[in-house]
């Protein structure tokens, strides 16, 4: 029997399940039917007892191919888990670096405030010294004019 006559004897795919829900295309991840597409109830993976099921892809020719495809799926899954693990590690490292930098920034801001305060204190001392010098000069000039005899 040819494959075309095989397909013509096959029933047409369902559009709705026995619960009157539209069927959806899904993928099998089992070792017996790895990556094989099928139509089934939308609740299939949620434990539905619905029996509406229709294979879309032909079955793999033998157990060797099934095992190879399943192994590839498992390998890809492990690679994804490793990748996501590395991403999580990097995210943690970024958070740690961010926290460290925020602490350093806070300490630098405190140091800057302290240095601004000490600069202001030094400036105030310089101004006070300058005023003291000016006051002494004014006092000495005032005393000099008081000591001079008046010319009348």
Percent of the chain residues past pLDDT 90, beyond the cut: 13
Is the pTM above the cut of 0.75?
no
47 and 112 co-located in one domain: no
67 and 129 co-located in one domain: yes
Residue 152 has pLDDT above 60, yes or no: no
Q: What is the pLDDT of residues 66-109, one digit of tens each?
A: 888 889 888 988 998 888 888 888 899 999 898 888 899 898 88
77 and 52 co-located in one domain: no
- What does the buried/exposed string (b/e) look like for 78-115 if buried means 16 or more CB atoms within 10 Å of the residue's CB? eeeeeeeeeeeeeeeeeeeeeeeeeeeeeeeeeeeeee
- Domain end, chosen from 38, 59, 80, is at 59
């Amino acid at each position: 029997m040819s494959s075309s006559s095989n397909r013509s004897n096959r029933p047409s795919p369902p559009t709705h399940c026995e619960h009157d829900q539209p069927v959806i295309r899904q993928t099998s991840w089992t070792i017996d039917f790895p990556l094989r597409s099928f139509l089934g109830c939308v609740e299939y993976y949620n434990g539905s007892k619905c029996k509406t099921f229709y294979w879309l892809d032909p079955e793999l020719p033998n157990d060797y191919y099934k095992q190879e495809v399943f192994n590839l799926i498992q390998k890809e899954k492990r690679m994804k888990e490793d990748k996501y693990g590395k991403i999580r590690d990097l995210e943690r490292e970024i958070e740690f670096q961010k926290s460290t930098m925020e602490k350093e920034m806070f300490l630098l801001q405190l140091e800057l405030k302290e240095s601004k305060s000490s600069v202001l204190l030094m400036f105030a001392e310089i101004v006070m010294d300058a005023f003291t010098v000016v006051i002494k000069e004014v006092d000495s000039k005032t005393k000099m004019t008081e000591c001079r005899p008046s010319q009348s």
